[in-house]
Amino acid sequence: MESAVDEEPRAVVFVCDRQGAALGRRERCLKLAGVAYRIDAERRPSGTYYKLSVNEPDAVTAHLALQMGGCGRSSRLHQQESTLVTTIRDMARTFWEEALLLLGRAVDFVRGVAPRLLTGPR
């Protein structure tokens, strides 16, 4: 039921108050993602809490594994609907950035060629 986490510090990715299906689902998600984890039981006056913890560098991977595995509700980012105005604005911004990039390349080319043209033939 536990997979050893070798190094410290650890990050807690899930806490629940009973061993059961919820904890098992999250364990399965972490196993499928190949993330090493540990279950720690913490006894408190209000009851026993089970903490699912991973190595700190694996914390983001663990959270993504839990969300992608359908084991937790993801905090969905609110994306604005793409309207005609926003699409045209994005296209204009992209065109402007490309024009500036082209202008920069042209200036670099001229700076590289101009000294050779000014010195004349040998």
pLDDT tens for residues 65-118?
888 874 444 444 445 567 888 889 989 999 999 999 999 999 999 988 877 777
Note the pTM of the prediction, 2 decimals.
0.50
* Domains of the chain by residue range: 10-68, 80-122
pLDDT recorded at residue 67: 87
Q: What is the DSSP string of 21-86?
A: HHHHHHHHHHHHHT--EEEEEEEETTEEEEEEEEEGGGHHHHHHHHHHTTSS------PPP--HHH
pLDDT tens for residues 17-43?
888 888 888 898 888 888 899 999 999
Instruction: Give the orientation angle of helix 59-68 with respect to helix 21-33, to 10 degrees.
Output: 110
Looking at the predicted structure, is the pLDDT value of residue 122 above 70? Answer: no
Domain at 10-68: CATH code = 3.30.70
Place of tokens 């992209």: 94
Q: Helix, strand, or coil here: 6? A: coil
